């Protein structure tokens, strides 16, 4: 382990003749606060991948609650005389329901068991709201029993429910779990003569984020909220495109009464043949309304992304797979309607839908992404049509275009000039790359053209060879992000991706937050994001070493900002080398009024290169706070080998 990063990183570190013992004299010039750090700078990218929505953030515990999976009873174990029917369910877009018939003998039973999403996690003494739409087959009414079963098949909570009407009606009861069980299942069976019809069988913890019904998993939202995100991009990612256009994310199907939102395929169920998840579908239960609400809760700007009329270009070749340029009207209308849904008055068609869902106030949408990872001339040809329509109706909305899936190369070089020509406001760049790439790219934006669109680093993550969320990857991201911060005049948004992953059901890694049915763990990468977001500052300050930006010389990377509200100068410093480095940070250009406080806050994030945080050991790598003295205008310290450091130097004026 002591070999640390050098084996892989030495090649990327600028070789210097300066000895390891030297003191690095960094100069921060506070004469004039530079570019503003945009409030959207550090945000979140959310996609329903890795069971991120159904089975993750969306707190529903029942899988296939409406029996709409192509195999109607997938996720359910049925016994006795169960029929799946589609002749008269109460929800038009979810036509299937089950009928529990008399088992035919007093000692036999008819019922169902749901396995949840890799089990149903319940906590000791916590309450769970069971609900079902049901109708009795006879005027006398029917009875069902609802049980929570543990992994040994022992019921540990049970309630009876009377179904008293021959008409479809919603019934609810509360279950209280006497113990913690990470992999329970839900059993429902007929205890009267029957028959009884059941539809939309649901189980939610009552303790969701903000206690909302149809709510979100509290611990996961808390982890997101703790990041202080300025931006929330949704719903992806590739699911925006769909493997084919029929299965693209269709926001209009994700709003309105939850029981009537139709099921969609989730492409991550089969995208990687070596990681097949045949039970992965999108219920749209956490749809655009819930996602806008979550943005609002977190104080983040919502950034929805819509399909541009192209199905996933990785999986579809040739114009015939896409919407012809002349036939884009429905897709463009979807984008316009989305803006109306978010911002329109309650007298508009879509503003009314939002109001009926409980939010008459607008969501104040400012940004929209058109297309995800697109490439080739087929993209600008379509994007142009969207831009014309959106600019004509909503000139205030900022439009985000894509530079494709690669961070350089032919497609990237073609698309950037096209994005400039089309005058998009921001260009979405994606890079899932090696540690070496991240270190080399710390100066990436120093030479970007300042005249064109701004940059949205919309999906990025350092991928070490073992694809783990180890400290090495986090440290490289921290080094790279000094370049985002230094270039905040052009980089206005950055979102790590993907965000969430279920430990038993992931398709892609690394990811920012891992979870099981009851717990979650913040990765070292999470803490890097958190440190940047919490210490974002208001304006960039130039930071130099030997009159140059520090972008990897001797394994050091640094940037500085000022927070004119909190009155602090904040320096971020990554040392990716194997050696401790003596550092002197001199503050120059201070106005006469500015008095530097003698003690600064120092926050250290450090760990062994291959170390991870795990569910059982979540705090292996966490930021550690200390203080460091400031002598006049100079802070002298040691940046430990393999560490990310944040220094907050307070001043009065």
Query: What is the rounded CA–CA span in Å between residue 285 and residue 60?
Result: 8
Axis-axis angle for helices 218-225, 288-298 (nearest 10): 50
Per-position x/- string for 542-561, each x denoting binding to ligand AHR as judged by CB under 6 A, each - no binding: --------------------
Of 445, 439, 433, nearest in space to 479 by CA: 439
* CA–CA gap between residue 528 and residue 47 (Å, rounded): 20
Euclidean distance between CA atoms 414 and 443, whole angstroms: 22
Which of 116, 119, 205, 236 binds ligand AHR (CB under 6 A)? It is 236
Is 384 among the residues known to form the active site?
A: no
* 8 Å CB contact between 351 and 364: no
Q: Is 498 a residue that touches ligand AHR (CB under 6 A)?
A: yes
* Residues in contact with 343: Cβ distance below 8 Å, sequence separation at least 6, in sequence order: 351, 362, 363, 364, 365, 394
* Per-residue x/- track, 429-458, ligand AHR (CB under 6 A): -x----------------------------
The residue with tokens 């998009």 is 424
Shortest Cβ distance from residue 90 to ligand AHR (Å)? 35
Which residue of 6, 13, 28, 49 would you call a contact of ligand AHR, by CB under 6 A?
A: 49
Residues in 311-330 that interact with ligand AHR by CB under 6 A: none
Residues touching ligand AHR: how many (CB under 6 A)?
A: 13
477 scored as a contact of ligand AHR (CB under 6 A): no
Q: Is 351 in the site for ligand AHR (CB under 6 A)?
A: no
Q: CA–CA separation, 32 vs 476, rounded Å?
A: 29
Between 14 and 272, name the residue whose CB sits nearer to ligand AHR. Answer: 272
Among the listed ranges 145-153, 235-243, 588-596, 627-635, the one in contact with ligand AHR (CB under 6 A) is 235-243
Nearer to ligand AHR, 378 or 429 (CB): 429
Distance CA 462, CA 212 (A): 35
| 265 lies in the site for ligand AHR, by CB under 6 A | no
Pick from 26, 89, 120, 497: which binds ligand AHR (CB under 6 A)? 497
CA-based torsion, 611, 616, 620, 625: positive or negative: positive
Binds ligand AHR by CB under 6 A, chosen from 94, 243, 372, 559:
372
User: Taking contact as CB under 6 A, which single stretch among the options 59-67, 234-242, 298-306, 562-570 is the one that binds ligand AHR?
Assistant: 234-242
**Interface pick for ligand AHR out of 44, 47, 506, 533 (rule CB under 6 A):** 47
Shortest separation between residue 244's beta carbon and ligand AHR, angstroms: 16
Give the angle 513-514-518 at the CA atoms, nearest 5°.
120
Q: Is 462 in the site for ligand AHR (CB under 6 A)?
A: no
Q: How far is the CB of 445 from ligand AHR (least distance, A)?
A: 21
| Active-site hit among 60, 265, 373, 459 | 373
The nearer residue to ligand AHR, 52 or 287, going by C-beta atoms, is: 52
Q: Tell which one of 281, 508, 527, 651 touches ligand AHR (CB under 6 A).
A: 508
**Beta-bridge mates of residue 624:** 604
Closer to ligand AHR by CB, 266 or 553: give it. Answer: 266
Report the residue from 459, 477, 554, 563 that binds ligand AHR according to the rule CB under 6 A: 459
- Tell me the closest approach of the beta carbon of residue 457 to ligand AHR, in angstroms: 13
Residue nearest to ligand AHR (CB): 237
CA distance 39 to 60: 32
Q: What are phi and psi of 536, to 5 degrees?
A: -75, -30
Say whether 614 sits in a helix, a strand or coil: coil
**Cβ-based neighbour number of residue 155 at 10 Å:** 13
In degrees rounded to 5, what are phi and psi of residue 220?
Answer: -75, -40
Rounded Cα distance between 472 and 6, Å, is: 11
**Least distance to ligand AHR from the beta carbon of 240, Å?**
8
The alpha-helical segments, DSSP class H, found in 426-555 are 435-440, 471-486, 524-534
Strand partners, 510: none
Subset of 601-630 contacting ligand AHR (CB under 6 A) = none
What is the DSSP code string of 91-160? -TTS--EEEEE--SSTT---EEEE-BTTBEEE-TT-EEEEEEEEEESSTT-EEEEEEEE-TTS-EEEEEE
Residues with catalytic roles: 373
- Contact set with ligand AHR (CB under 6 A): 47, 49, 236-238, 372-373, 405, 430, 459, 497-498, 508
């Amino acid at each position: 382990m002591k070999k640390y990063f050098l084996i892989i990183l030495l090649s990327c570190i600028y070789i210097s003749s300066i000895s390891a013992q030297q003191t690095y004299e960094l100069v921060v010039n506070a004469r004039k606060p530079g570019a503003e750090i945009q409030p959207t700078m550090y945000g979140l990218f959310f996609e329903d991948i890795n069971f991120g929505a159904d089975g993750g953030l969306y707190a529903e515990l029942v899988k296939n609650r409406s029996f709409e999976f192509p195999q109607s009873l997938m996720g359910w174990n049925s016994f006795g005389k169960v029929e799946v029917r589609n002749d008269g369910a109460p929800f038009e877009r979810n036509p299937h329901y089950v009928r529990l018939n008399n088992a035919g003998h007093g000692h036999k039973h008819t019922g169902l068991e749901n396995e949840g999403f890799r089990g149903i996690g319940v906590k000791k003494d916590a309450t769970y709201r069971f609900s079902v739409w049901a109708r009795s087959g006879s005027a006398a009414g029917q009875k069902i029993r609802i049980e929570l079963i543990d992994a040994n098949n022992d019921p540990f909570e049970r309630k009876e429910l009377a179904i008293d009407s021959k008409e479809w009606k919603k019934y609810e009861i509360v279950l209280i779990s006497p113990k913690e069980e990470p992999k329970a299942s839900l059993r429902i069976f007929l205890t009267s003569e029957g028959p009884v019809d059941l539809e939309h069988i649901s189980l939610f913890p009552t303790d969701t984020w903000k206690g909302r019904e149809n709510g979100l998993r509290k611990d996961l939202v808390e982890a997101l909220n703790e990041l202080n995100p300025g931006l929330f991009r949704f719903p992806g990612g590739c699911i925006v495109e769909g493997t084919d256009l029929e299965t693209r994310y269709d926001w209009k199907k994700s709003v309105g009464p939850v029981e009537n939102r139709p099921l969609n395929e989730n492409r991550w169920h089969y995208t990687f043949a070596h990681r097949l998840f045949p039970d992965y579908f999108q219920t749209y239960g956490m749809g655009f309304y819930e996602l806008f609400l979550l943005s609002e809760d977190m104080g983040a700007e919502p950034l929805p992304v819509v399909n541009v009329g192209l199905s996933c270009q990785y999986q579809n070749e040739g114009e015939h797979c896409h919407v012809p340029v002349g036939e884009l009207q429905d897709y463009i209308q979807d984008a316009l309607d989305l803006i109306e849904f978010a911002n329109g008055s309650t007298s508009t068609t879509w503003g009314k839908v939002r109001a009926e869902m409980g939010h008459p106030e607008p969501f104040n949408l400012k940004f929209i992404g058109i297309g995800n990872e697109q490439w080739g001339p087929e993209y600008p040809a379509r994007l142009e049509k969207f831009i014309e329509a959106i600019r004509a109706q909503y000139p205030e909305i900022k439009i985000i275009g894509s530079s494709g899936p690669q961070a350089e190369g032919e497609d990237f070089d073609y698309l950037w000039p096209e994005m400039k020509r089309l005058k998009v406001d921001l260009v979405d760049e994606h890079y899932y790359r090696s540690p070496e790439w991240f270190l080399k790219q710390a100066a990436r934006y120093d030479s970007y053209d300042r005249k064109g669109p701004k940059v949205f680093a919309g999906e990025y993550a350092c991928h070490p060879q073992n694809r783990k969320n180890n400290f090495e990857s986090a440290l490289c991201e921290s080094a790279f992000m000094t370049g985002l911060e230094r270039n905040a005049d052009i980089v206005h948004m950055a979102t790590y991706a993907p965000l969430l992953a279920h430990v038993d059901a992931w398709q892609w890694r690394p990811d920012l937050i891992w979870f099981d049915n009851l717990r979650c763990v913040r990765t070292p990468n999470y803490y890097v994001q958190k440190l940047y977001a919490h210490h974002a500052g208001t304006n960039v300050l130039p930071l130099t070493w030997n009159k140059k930006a520090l972008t990897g010389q001797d394994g050091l990377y640094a940037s500085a900002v000022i927070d004119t509200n909190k009155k602090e100068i904040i320096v971020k410093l990554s040392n990716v080398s194997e050696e401790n480095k003596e550092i002197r940070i001199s503050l120059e250009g201070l106005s006469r009024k500015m008095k530097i406080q003698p003690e600064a806050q120092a926050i250290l994030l450090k760990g062994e290169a291959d170390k991870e945080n795990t569910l059982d050991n979540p705090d292996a790598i966490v930021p550690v706070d200390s203080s460091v003295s400031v002598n006049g205008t100079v802070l002298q310290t040691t940046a430990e080998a393999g560490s990310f450091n944040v220094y907050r130097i307070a001043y009065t004026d």
